[in-house]
Structure 1
Amino acid sequence: MYAETMLIPAIPDLIREFNVSYSTSSWILTAYLVPGAVMMPVAGKLSDIYGKKNVLLTIMAIYVVGITIAGFSTSIYMLFIARAIQGIGMAMFVIAFGIIRDQFPREKISIGQGVISSMFASGAVIGLLAGGIIINNYGWHATFFSTIPVAVALFVVIWRFNYERKMEPWEQAPERIPAANIPKGVDVKGAIALATFVTSFLLALTLFETGSAGLQSAVQIAIFIATGAVALVLFILIEKRAKVPLVDLKLMAHKAILPANLIIMIVGFSMFMVFQTIPVLVRNPHPLGFGGDAAMAGYVQLPFALVLLVFGPTSGLIVERLGSVRPIIIGTSITTTGFLFLLTFHNDWVSVAASLAVLSTGLSLTNVGALNVTILATPAQFMGMSVGMNTLLRIVGASVGPALAGVYMQTYQSTIEVANRPTAFPSMQAYSAIFLTAVILSVVSVMLAVFLKRRLNKMSIPNLA
């Protein structure tokens, strides 16, 4: 998260430097997320087969290559490619949560998740504080260069000190899913179909913007949608027939896991929609923004990261005391309230910062609770695959969030004079549309949380209710 939040304040600079639209700029985040979405279940499966430490070190090495190339990028497309390579590193999160399942006693897993979440937030806090300063003084390239020594140091620490503990038979989750031996192999066809589906859908969304309307654009959008639909059907058919599926559809349809995963997907959508939107709002000139610089963009989002830092470990303790489901219901309700505040009060930076703090509180509770449901409902021998599916859906949501925000910002624009030249910027209507969409989806997440509670009342999974 350090590397990601450092770059966020620079999004308006990248738009100007590379002369790209707001919709195209969403791929600065999306190009990172799509490979991550595909690699989540792949890495989870590989970690089940070859060991978490070996796979984690391999992915970290790829991540270092990606951030190095990104630092030397001279065009938007080179940056997209570098971000795609960097995105493979997102699979590290799957393995990290799997390690928690291996190392922590069952009743303490939520606390372990909270610790990881607090580290997540710590990186976000440091990134937001340092990012604006580095960008203002040294340019956006330096954000990547500053990450390289940290990543290399972590690689050495994990290689030298991380040890795996084998799970004993009595430590496996009690849910009645067949515990057959896991065959070796990776579903390459499924991975290709999944990547095609996600990429086609996002490309169609990117093209769907004002200014690109017309027959040629409509045909391109139709082609991408059709390609994505075919890829989705093929993916489902491949997974049903594969001996070693990338995604176990039966496990994914589990009565507890499915609603928890859908809630996680909405969390990913909401968080990354905010990451795409707030820097643009802060840095655009008055009256269509706050007229701030990169540092101010970081400071406005700082309450979001600070609350996440506090509520990371706290959420774990709350989940341990109240169970997993009640914190999800509370968290989704608070998240909805936070987006309502953003929808109503986004005309000054103080209101936006306060709304982000409320939003972060809800997301923290929701995230830890929903992930805890997934982990406790999954047998240990399928943990990598299950957490991979969970994170896959989070990243699918996170991929769509920035893309849809970019579409709104490209569609609803107003023109003002900047340096004696008419310049178009997203209007306040664009931000209202973004936050209204987030409110609607957050209400859906509340409904899913209530539905999940009713389902779990009929099940008997230890430490879950």
Structure 2
Amino acid sequence: MPPSPRMPAWVTAGVLTLCGLIVSLQQTLVIPLLPDMPEILGVSADDASWLVTATLLTGAVATPIVARMADMYGKRRMLLISLLVMTAGSLVAALGGSFGPLIVGRAMQGFGASLIPVGISIMRDQLPREKLAGAISLMSATFGIGAALGLPLSGLIHEAFGWTALFWSTAVVGAVLIVVIRLMLTESVPGSSGRFDVAGALILSIALVALLLILSKGAAWGWTSVAVAVLAGVAVVAFAVWVPLQLRTPEPMVNLRTAVKRPMLLTNVASFFVGFSMLMNSLITTQELQVPTETGYGMALPVVTAGLLMVPGGLMMLVFSPISGRMLNRLGGKPTLLIGSATIGLAYLGRVLAPDSVVTTVVGNTVISVGTAVAFAAMPTLVMATAHRSETASANGVNSLIRSLGTSSSSAVVAMLFASMAVVVDGTAYPSAAGMDVALWLGAATAAIAVLVGALIPVRGGEESGEEREHGTARKDGYHRLPSKSS
């Protein structure tokens, strides 16, 4: 179905991309506030960390559920519902004034994570074929753009207007997007019939919450603590129940038969490792720029300065989005994924070998960001090439979830690494120079794994869905040819 006559294709792409950008920004919204929140709210530092964890948990749970409901009940409808919940969460956080309402608001903001996969599926339905690659590249890049730009932007807003201004700003943007989408964007493709898999959604939610609590709080609780052991048991049991349930359910929460197909499975595995290396880049770079020079590698820059030096990476992801789109059109999804992942790995190697300086650190961070943008652009292409049209949002939702699991795992691994390889300067522990080198080598290794996994993705038949092979509408780059008006 062509785009609504009231909204040109470039406006559709722009509005949906802005949805993705605001989601990515709000996920890092409170990170600059964390050092001040214990004093502001009268809570411990561990309690304050729940401002990040709450959003992570609800985002992980909401993404596959909302994406599946989008395929069944309408993508525009679920886009609006997610935006409403996210915007309401911003208002709750801004008006609450205490720790409890702020946690509730942050949890509600997590629903916005589903906007990216649902937005990509709407693009597939509504945008002309020649504009689809560039739009998907930009939408995919918002996952990293927001992370790169969110930290310095949030810090500046916090210093200038106070912490509540962060939530008021996302509430205003969310409200504007709701109005624009409600008035101008039409439903693209009717939802599929069938019953929503409530049991599958509940069990998957339990498994994901247990797993993500381990990854996000394991370092604070202790990896050998009773809490971590219990949560690990819950996650294992929940997944053990969930998998056979999905296989025998007529309308499953996640179509595992599609998920285990070689193209889809390998794409999701590569996505995990690209997400892992992406967040590791941010964690390493902020440490290098801020820690004392006595560590042997640190540059002792102020927090605001370090945040601003992260901006070039985010801007280059934005600049490279149309280039990634052209790569997808000319080369296809698999080569684009390989080029992006290889760029990440080579940039990590360069950071290991290059002398420590502000310039080399910023350049290395920027090149890794470019590689991430290129790799992220390829993932929806490969996912949609395998998934049936009726499962587009759901398949992209699972891929987004896998990427999130990669970033969460990266955070946990880096925390363990830096804690085990630390040096004390003026009574404070910082990652040692050796620990930083190990982290950089680990970043290169995860990117290399993404390249190896991506190389195994089948070329023939790997970028066309069963639906399209049947009708002869597949293209070399993995996009689905939309029917003409006459058909």
Contact kept in structure 1, 2:116 and 2:140, CA below 8 Å: no
What is the alpha-carbon distance in structure 1 between the residues aligned to residue 220 and residue 437 of structure 2? 17
What is the alpha-carbon distance in structure 1 between the residues aligned to residue 176 and residue 108 of structure 2? 20
- 1:425 match: secondary structure: strand
What is the alpha-carbon distance in structure 1 between the residues aligned to residue 351 and residue 38 of structure 2? 24
Q: Deviations over 1:270-306 (max 9, x none)?
A: 2233444544543444434433333213212112101
Amino acid of the structure 1 residue aligned with 2:270:
I
1:463 counterpart = 2:468:
no
Amino acid of the structure 2 residue aligned with 1:56:
L
| Residues 355-370 of structure 1 aligned to structure 2 (within 5 Å) | 355-370=364-379
Contact kept in structure 1, 2:30 and 2:52, CA below 8 Å: no
Shift of 1:99: 0.6
1:174 counterpart residue number: none
Amino acid of the structure 1 residue aligned with 2:476:
N
Q: Deviations over 1:160-190 (max 9, x none)?
A: 11122338xxxxxxxxxxxxx9433322322
Contact kept in structure 1, 2:386 and 2:463, CA below 8 Å: no
Contact kept in structure 2, 1:202 and 1:403, CA below 8 Å: no
- 1:256 match: secondary structure: helix
2:340 counterpart residue number: 331
1:316 counterpart = 2:325:
yes
Gaps (5+ residues) in structure 1?
A: 168-180
TM-score, normalised to structure 1's length? 0.84
Q: Deviations over 1:121-154 (max 9, x none)?
A: 7656764553332233344443223222111111
1:221 counterpart residue number: 228
1:307 counterpart residue number: 316
Cα distance change on mapping 1:360 and 1:193 into 2, 3 Å: same
1:350 counterpart residue number: 359
1:250 counterpart residue number: 257
| Residues 202-217 of structure 1 aligned to structure 2 (within 5 Å) | 202-206=212-216, 208-209=218-219, 212=222, 217=224
- 2:309 match: secondary structure: helix
Match of 1:188 among 195, 198, 209: 198
Identity %: 26
What is the alpha-carbon distance in structure 2 between the residues aligned to residue 210 and residue 40 of structure 1? 26
Contact kept in structure 2, 1:118 and 1:310, CA below 8 Å: no
1:47 counterpart residue number: 70
2:45 counterpart residue number: 20
Shift of 1:107: 5.5
Amino acid of the structure 2 residue aligned with 1:362:
G
Shift of 1:395: 1.9
| Residues 44-443 of structure 1 aligned to structure 2 (within 5 Å) | 44-71=67-94, 79-106=102-129, 108-117=131-140, 127-166=150-189, 182-206=192-216, 208-209=218-219, 212=222, 217-288=224-295, 289-344=298-353, 347-417=356-426, 422-443=427-448
How many residue pairs get matched? Answer: 443
Amino acid of the structure 2 residue aligned with 1:145:
W
- 1:184 match: secondary structure: coil
Shift of 1:159: 0.9
Cα distance change on mapping 1:90 and 1:341 into 2, 3 Å: same
Amino acid of the structure 2 residue aligned with 1:239:
Q
Contact kept in structure 2, 1:9 and 1:295, CA below 8 Å: no
Cα distance change on mapping 1:102 and 1:212 into 2, 3 Å: closer
Amino acid of the structure 2 residue aligned with 1:404:
V
Amino acid of the structure 1 residue aligned with 2:247:
K
TM-score, normalised to structure 2's length? 0.80
- 1:319 match: secondary structure: helix
Cα distance change on mapping 1:414 and 1:73 into 2, 3 Å: farther
Shift of 1:62: 0.6
Cα distance change on mapping 1:402 and 1:154 into 2, 3 Å: same
Contact kept in structure 1, 2:85 and 2:109, CA below 8 Å: yes
**26-35 or 255-264, which moves further after superposition?**
26-35
**238-247 or 422-431, which moves further after superposition?**
422-431
What is the alpha-carbon distance in structure 2 between the residues aligned to residue 301 and residue 25 of structure 1? 24
Cα distance change on mapping 1:455 and 1:261 into 2, 3 Å: farther
Contact kept in structure 1, 2:345 and 2:448, CA below 8 Å: yes
Shift of 1:68: 3.0
1:449 counterpart = 2:449:
no
- 1:163 match: secondary structure: coil
What root-mean-square deviation, in Å, do the aligned CA atoms of Structure 1 and Structure 2 show? 3.2
Amino acid of the structure 2 residue aligned with 1:332:
S
Amino acid of the structure 1 residue aligned with 2:393:
G
Cα distance change on mapping 1:453 and 1:240 into 2, 3 Å: closer
Say which structure, 1 or 2, has more relative contact order (CA 8 Å, 6+ apart): 1
**375-384 or 146-155, which moves further after superposition?**
375-384
Q: Deviations over 1:309-355 (max 9, x none)?
A: 11112101111011221111111100111222344558443222111
1:3 counterpart = 2:55:
no
Shift of 1:96: 0.4
Gaps (5+ residues) in structure 2?
A: 1-23, 479-487
Cα distance change on mapping 1:98 and 1:274 into 2, 3 Å: same
Q: Deviations over 1:74-115 (max 9, x none)?
A: 777765543322111111112100111101244643222124
2:18 counterpart residue number: none
